[in-house]
């Protein structure tokens, strides 16, 4: 069993992908930026999704409208 409160490794102590995932899941709400230890591509996508998730309702609606316009433009081409 995994107990998140017992995972106390710091960024410098991360050894493998499991440690990195546990670190990011435990600390995502407290991270102000992307730590140097989390430079893999999968974490890029995770941090992009986290940025979108913290949008306000208005920002999210504008983002969705922009995304829809972009996809429509791409399909037209």
Q: What is the pLDDT of residue 24?
A: 92
* Mean pLDDT (10-residue bins), the chain, 77 residues: 86 92 90 87 90 93 96 94
Q: Specify the number of domains making up the chain.
A: 1
**Run of H or E residues at 52:** helix 41-53
Q: What is the pLDDT of residue 1?
A: 77
* Count of C-beta atoms within a 10 Å radius of residue 55: 13
Check: CB of residue 24 under 8 Å from CB of residue 38: yes
**Domain interval for residue 16:** 4-76
- Nearest Cα residue to 42 out of 6, 18, 14: 18
């Amino acid at each position: 069993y995994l107990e998140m409160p017992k995972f106390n490794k710091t960024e410098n102590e991360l050894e493998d992908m499991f440690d990195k995932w546990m670190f990011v899941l435990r600390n995502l709400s407290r991270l102000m930026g992307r730590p140097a230890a989390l430079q893999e591509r999968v974490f890029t996508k995770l941090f992009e999704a986290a940025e979108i998730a913290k949008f306000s309702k208005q920002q999210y609606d504008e983002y969705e409208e922009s995304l829809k316009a972009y996809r429509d433009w791409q399909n037209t081409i």
